[in-house]
Every structure is written in C-alpha cells, then in structure tokens.
Structure 1
C-alpha cells in the first residue's frame, strides 16, 4: 500500500512570495523523503485550494484498485490558534462528508519544537550573528500575532526557552499593536531592549513565509533601528524535517489507536 499522502495546508496570501516560499519548503520535504507524495493546498488567496486538492485525490482513488486514499493534512502553522482550531477542521469535516474515498486526519501544528528554534537561530547566523554574539545581543522574537491565549502562551514560553540558550535578553513581540494581546509591536520591543541598556538588538521573525504581517515586522525593526534582522523561517532544512516529524507522529498516533 502506498504511504498516506502528506497534504501541507498553508493559509495563503496575496503576496506572491508567500506561495513561492511554501512551495520551496514542500519541495525540500520531497527531497528528504523520495517517494512520499506531498501536496500543497491553501485556505485562501492561492491555488490550489485545499478542497480542490482533496477532490482530485478522491477522484484518483475512485479510479484505482485500492478504493481509498489516506491523507494526513498538516497545518503549516506555528501555534494552535484560530486557523488550526476552526478553519482547517471545518474544511476537513466538509471534505470527509462528501468525499467517501478519502480517509483524512489532521496532524498537529508545527510548534513548539526544538527544530523551530534550530531554524530560527540558523537564520540569525545567516544574517551575520555568531554563537559568541548571543551573550551581548538582545533578541526580539517577532511573531505574526494572535488573540488566542494558547498561542500567546506558546510564544511567551519560546521566548523564555531562548533566554536560556545564551541571549542576554529576549522579548516576544507581535507584528503590530492591532494584532497583539499583551505583547508589544516589534519596534517597541526593540526600543525596550535599548532602554534596558542592551547595546545590540536582533529581530527574528517567527513566521514561515513572507507576507503582509511579516512585512510589518521588517518595518518595525527598521524603524527602531535594529542591528540585525533575520529572514523568515522559509524552506529551512530544520523546518522541512519538522514537517516530516509531524507527519510521522500523525501516522503513529493512528497506529496506536487501531491497536488499542
């Protein structure tokens, strides 16, 4: 039997860099596991949509001898917020009700994970920092933003974990004040570190792909004159490995359920 299809579910954006980055990431996933079928679907703005991908898989299953296709839908999300709890489950429930040839399960979101911290720090090193610089550098962990308490708690915990890896100070931030609930926008976080006497400040976007909110992170870092600004996580090797880990975890969870 073929392995279940990995369907990476991205939010989508009007910014063409978003889809290009997502496709580059899924291409890296394919290169890490040749033979695994990896599809990419978007919730909005970009094609193909998640329903369209699932309809195509259902049609293929109807014309095959196997009769059914298993699909692991993996949210390309760093925290469990609105899209992971509401949007994606709704799309998948609707698909299950009308596509009888598919067996669909939703994998967990990407974060938190040590692999995300590996990807984050690799981007900072690519931006010019070294491991030795950490003890004299304050770090702004800049997320897109959320009003979901669970997501906010995860970002705060990641900032605490990073503080214990050698940075002289770490502050969480959101892309803008309008997207925040307790964290300052990026520029304010940079200025707060400066006010504490931190001489060098780096901003690390904790986002997967470029778009409107990541651009606000970039603008805030520039306006506050951050010393270092790293790229988005993008198609990093660590992030690609994490996608495969979440896929495997979803399969293991199913195996344990069936054997219980």
Structure 2
C-alpha cells in the first residue's frame, strides 16, 4: 500500500457545523469520481480533525503520497504563513512521505471561470 495516494481538502473551519457542507459535498464528489483515492477533510481551527491529525492517520494507514488542497478563494495570511508551517512540520514528522501543497482552489482558472459563470446567472446575463 506504499504507493497509495490521498487528497486532503483543507479549510479554515468555523463554529457553525453547516459551514463545512460545501467541503463535505466536494469530498463526496471527489470520492465518487476516483473511488480508489483516499479523500479527507482537515481544518485550521474551530473544527476537527486538524491537518496534523489527518496526515498522521494517513501515514499510519500506509499512504505515502498526500496532496493538501486549500479550499480557500485566495492566498491570504493563513495560506502564506500558517499552512506552509503545518505542511513543513508534517514533512519533518514523515520524511518518507511525499506531502505536496496545492495553491488555493479559488485561484485555479476553472474555478474562477465557474464563479464568474455563477455570478453571471444572477446578473441575468448568459455566458453563451
């Protein structure tokens, strides 16, 4: 199982559990698209599990290729400072693992286009 892969969808977290619903839906969609891929959620604060807990569990389960995908619209302070420190600490704890960090999901061209199309729909304008 040493070649197993996982994706961790990382979010800020909130006190209201409903806040995580879009991340849960994204996780479920990704699991349906790639049934052999392990997909987990992790949060910076207010919610569990933490990124540290998720990565430690994945490695304990034999997964050595882990991609952390920040479910943020843009690279703010948490993604420029806090998240790289968490990922570096995980890399130090699990030197035999490959832990990669993606840019904020909101900066991907496809996501930007989807958000623009969504907004156009509310503006009464079609992108067609």
Shorter chain as normaliser: what TM range? 0.7 to 0.9
Aligned residues: 126
**CA shift for structure 1 position 58:** 2.1
CA distance in 2, matches of 1:59, 1:35: 18
What is the match of residue 81 of structure 1? 76
Deviation at 1:123, TM superposition (A): 5.5
Q: Secondary structure of the equivalent of 1:41? A: strand
Deviations 1:69-126, CA, capped at 9 Å, x for gaps: 111111112222212211110001111222345321111222051432224423652x
Alignment match, 1:36: 37
Q: Which residue of structure 1 aligns with residue 118 of structure 2?
A: 122
Whole-Å Cα distance in 1 between the matches of residues 28 and 8 of structure 2? 13
Question: CA offsets per residue over residues 211-248 of structure 1, 9 Å max, x none?
Answer: xxxxxxxxxxxxxxxxxxxxxxxxxxxxxxxxxxxxxx
CA contact (8 A) 1:8 1:40 kept: yes
Superposed CA offset, 1:123-160 (max 9, x none): 652x57341xxxxxxxxxxxxxxxxxxxxxxxxxxxxx
Which structure has more relative contact order (CA 8 Å, sep 6+)? It is: 2
- Within-5 A mapping of 1:184-203: none
Q: Which has the larger radius of gyration?
A: 1
Gaps of 5+ in 2: none
RMSD (Å) for aligned C-alpha atoms = 2.4
Q: TM-score, normalised by structure 1?
A: 0.43
> What SS does structure 2 have at the residue aligned with 1:79?
coil
8 Å CA contact 2:4–2:64 kept in 1: the answer is no
Correspondent of 2:99 among 86, 101, 104? 104
Runs (5+) with no aligned partner, structure 1: 62-67, 132-164, 166-260
TM-score, normalising length from structure 2? 0.82
Aligned mates of 1:124, 1:13 — CA distance in 2:
28
